[in-house]
Chain A
């Protein structure tokens, strides 16, 4: 009895440690974002905001705002543009990537055609190519096609970057589906395309959701690609805008942390409500 109590206490202690490691930094950023600038530079840190304030959020989201008594321009115009850009490019990239992976992976698993294995291995091997290996030629290509700083250009680069993982994941999903269902449909005279869209895809829905989530989160957090291909607010996402708050001689950590808190809302929502699919995706995406 005593030993089991002891081991339960130990387990609980480990769980508490793990929670602190995972959530501590996020909690600290939240406290920072809600603290008065004066409290941020005080001698001792406060683990709760002593004078909770929405000042930083007002500066991000308000039309005008006051900062330490004086009126300052709010960053809402830039922030809202970047937010829309982040949402649009991530969603577009997700839709295109999942559509291509859903159809393509089916072909790689169930259909026989020349070059099937070579193409698949090459595409998956491209996971090992660092973005900077292709950056300069890609930049020249995008300039020549006038696609720099356009939604189409950035989206297509995201698609090419995140397609291999989605393809890998969808292939393992299709491989685990029983062939007998499809064969029954062919017996009834259904064509391949009809079978794919009416019978296979609905069964593969959890896999589709998982690859959509992985793609969306990767695109949402992307920094290197838009740093080069989204130079202006026409397509610049939050991840590139937020570090620019440093540019003045004073680093506004309150503002940066609150912008960060807003930028992590979509990932947090996904983790809270769709974690099952996310974990499945991580397991299948890296396993097998």
Chain B
């Protein structure tokens, strides 16, 4: 099948066929990162701008490495060291970048919908690298790829997503993606961190972690986003950890061969205990990072590979 999309704005816009094509393409890219010379010439002469208005280690580095492994030129702009501090608006910044003729703009922004806005304004392909609490499609794709590799399938699995659901674009993208791929998604978190109408996304919601992770094949823990807690929505990190930390004890409730995932960065001892995060018999956290490069290579290749 052909991949017709101009932009990757969210998992919600992707069909099952498109998700499968991205995952299969990514699987064939995995091998490149194991070579001695980790580079293929496919995107030679193409330019990718990573425009990041929010802090990032994994996603930005992953997009940069993905671009470089395909021989594209990658340019990183972070808001704190750009003209954004002089007051330039997103639209003006984008128009100016457009004038320099890149092929893809990878955008991370704190405002939900910023990538959609950009995509409607500029002719280049836009990849959403996280917009507010809306979507983070490449993260959900790499999560699906990791699950598929460890479980052999996605359909029919029970996936528990636990933590700060309300602030989490990772959760939202994964709910769209995993549900459409046939997984059974359940959520858990304190009431204050659960959006009121989240059940409308077709998921089951629990207030106790124990109920959500019972017999789960996959447990996905979310980071408590301290930087987004404007008002104190829970009394203390310690109290949160007492109720929602994934640890040696409650993990026993999950399926025997459960895998534990986390989009990073980890707050050790808050949402996940260090001995679980570091235990290779449960944790696939670093494997997720590894898959991330392949998924982003696939996205770049499918969007801008080849000649028009």
Q: Do A and B come from one complex?
A: no
Chain B positions near chain A (C-beta within 8 angstroms) = none
